[in-house]
Structure 1
Amino acid sequence: MDSKMHLQPWWLLPISLLLQLSNLKNWANAAPQVPCYFIFGDSLSDSGNNNNLKTLAKVNYRPYGIDFPKGPTGRFSNGRNVQDAIVELLGFEEYMPPFAKSERKNIFQGANYASGASGILDETGSLMILRNDSSTEKLLRQCIYSIQIGSNDFVNNYFKPNFYNSSHGYSASEFATMLVRQFAHQIKDLYKTGARIFALFGLGQLGCTPNAIATHGTNGSLCVTKLNDAAFLFNQRLIPLVMALNSKLADAKFTYLNYSPMKVAHNRKQYAFWDGVHPTDASNVLIAKNLYGTRSFSDARPFNIQSLACTQIK
């Protein structure tokens, strides 16, 4: 199988399917398939952690949240992000609260630690680590820990040579290797706190966002080749890491998820991108539904999210 399938977009999916999947019904009445769900990542997953930070990377204002029941919450979308849609599919009655607002209340059902503009590297951002005490260890071992990060390390670090020196010291291949190596250390740190069930997202087609196309140009291609190639290099290294972790850590389960937003949007209810970088509600729901139940090895390996939720850790 051609490993480049991991970055192929779903260009030909009909608009009617996006509309059909954009509304997940009756999710609030289902029993959660896992006791808790913890989220780590960047703006693709952030649900409001950046709202009170001194940063430009926050969106707690309209038109963001225009289609979300609570209005602007700090989600980088017109409605739900992909993690919200996964939470629905898992049967939780509420979305995971941003850790910044949780005040540790009801945190045992999960929390969202994602922060817009964060990255794997310290100079890009830092991956927040959950801390727990021994009394909660058994519960936390049954939770899913979802981590979606790495885009900013390329888009807002490596490919901004006027602000960062990363591209002067590394080739794209070397940089991807270094990122995944650092990511592996962070995952193992989370494992040491008691986490055992991991959903690790690959990078989507970084060169196909409206912002990338406007910033870099495409030289006649559909997308920015160098950005997509960089994402491919990262994913090429993340997949073997997932397999190695499954082999070495017998009391844990890891899976790789292929994150691929689709077409550029003119209508937020039908297309992929809400702004220059972030997908629409409809796109996020479509991606989540695919990753939840897919049988495609190119989209989820070795487990889809539904199978991951059935994992029993002793």
Structure 2
Amino acid sequence: MIRAHQVPCFFIFGDSLVDNGNNNGILSLAKANYFPYGIDFPGGHTGRFCNGKSTVDVIAECLGFSEYIPAYAYATDQDIIRGVNYASAAAGIRDETGQHLGERFSFRMQLHNHKNVVSRIKKLLGSKADAFEHLAKCIYSVGLGSNDYLNNYFVPQSYSTARDYSPEQYAEALIKHYFHQIKTLYKHGARKVVVTGIGQIGCSPHALAYMSEDGRTCVQTVDIDVQLFNTKLKKMIEDLNNEFLDAKFIYVNAYDIFGDLLKRAQDYGFEVTNVGCCGVGRNHGQISCLPMETPCQNRSKFVFWDAFHPSEAANVIVGLRSYKAESESDVYPMDIYHLADLHIGE
């Protein structure tokens, strides 16, 4: 049974998979603050790139939060004690990632915003020691890297990375940068950190529409590159755990969780896996849902909501399996449920 208030706070870093409104007020093409986004979410079109809940919304529920973690752009001092969502659509590990889509908060910028929040928490709680004691109990969710491929490495007309690096070299460069960024998060008080790998982006409706021969077979050339990154990311988690004995870092294997979901789609109640409920597959060439577009009616039967982003139904499965692993391969070395229960330093 899921207990209430398993942790006092939840901090979220990431991209459009978990953005809940941080891009709404900036000059960016990567926005989702309009209908039909949010059609099944109680707050409507908040900026979530989904018809309903994201994976971190599901995890927040599991952790016992009665309200979803607010976007940094709108968080008050009262909010920040229980956590903040810094995620930004088009954001990447690399600063230049997503720049062709306009403004976004890269992971470096998200970390800078978190540093400011930690300073505010120090003032609210009275001291650095009190703040860090509080922060050590929090869950930190980090999920970046998808855009470093989708909106960088795989866009050679806008970025030089594919010419500058082999797939192996690029994955290595990303992980090296990521490692130092996660260490910065540790420096600012993070002690329970969840790092989610990249999913099967070669199976997205966008990839199937433009790169798959039959429109249904996942694009292996894309996912082979992604797996290079994921393999190194899992090793990075090992290295972090060996270096920081007063903290615990875990890896969520989103690639295999989502792969299992696609493989056993019918078992999970899905009927459509290769096109989005709106966007590519319904209107060829379209990536996002168009404003006021009428999406599919049977949304719970679709794995994907638009060309890139899973439906709420898929997010619920991934979120639940991240929180409480169904398979040994879902997480490493433990799931979020056990991480939340962990007494760091004891």
State yes or no: 1:289 paired with 2:289. no
Compared CA separation, residues 174 and 218, structure 1 to 2 (3 A): farther
Provide Cα deviations, 1:251-304, integer angstroms capped at 9, x if missing partner. 000100011433335542122100000000010001111121115231101011
Compared CA separation, residues 245 and 61, structure 1 to 2 (3 A): same
**Corresponding residue SS for 2:185:** helix
In structure 2, list runs of 5 or more residues that go unmatched: 98-104, 123-127, 263-272, 278-297
* Conserved 8 A contact 2:15-2:90: yes
**Corresponding residue SS for 1:105:** helix
**1:238 aligns to what?**
233
Q: Distance in 2 between matches of 1:32 and 1:84?
A: 14
State yes or no: 1:301 paired with 2:332. yes
Q: Distance in 2 between matches of 1:103 and 1:165?
A: 40
Q: Distance in 2 between matches of 1:214 and 1:68?
A: 28
* Conserved 8 A contact 2:208-2:216: no
In structure 1, list runs of 5 or more residues that go unmatched: 1-25
* Conserved 8 A contact 2:208-2:215: no
State yes or no: 1:145 paired with 2:118. no
Q: Distance in 2 between matches of 1:38 and 1:115?
A: 13
State yes or no: 1:81 paired with 2:76. no
1:163-312 aligned within 5 A: 163-218=158-213, 222-259=217-254, 260-261=257-258, 262=262, 263-264=273-274, 265=276, 267-312=298-343
Identity %: 45
**Corresponding residue SS for 1:146:** strand
Deviates more, 1:159-168 or 1:263-272: 263-272
| AA aligned opposite 1:164 | Y
Let me know the Cα RMSD of the aligned residues: 1.7
Q: Distance in 2 between matches of 1:221 and 1:235?
A: 23
Q: Distance in 1 between matches of 2:146 and 2:192?
A: 22
**1:60 aligns to what?**
33
Provide Cα deviations, 1:126-176, integer angstroms capped at 9, x if missing partner. 211122231411100110110011000001100110010000000111101
**Corresponding residue SS for 1:200:** strand
1:40 aligned residue (10, 13, 31): 13
List structure 1 runs of 4+ shifted beyond 6 angstroms: none
Normalising by structure 1, what TM-score? 0.88
Q: Distance in 1 between matches of 2:61 and 2:222?
A: 31
Q: Distance in 1 between matches of 2:170 and 2:228?
A: 9
Q: Distance in 2 between matches of 1:55 and 1:105?
A: 28
Please report how far the alpha carbon of residue 220 of structure 1 lies from its aligned counterpart in structure 2 after TM superposition. Answer: 7.8
Compared CA separation, residues 221 and 78, structure 1 to 2 (3 A): closer
**1:112 aligns to what?**
85
**Corresponding residue SS for 1:112:** coil
Q: Distance in 1 between matches of 2:54 and 2:326?
A: 23
**2:44 aligns to what?**
71
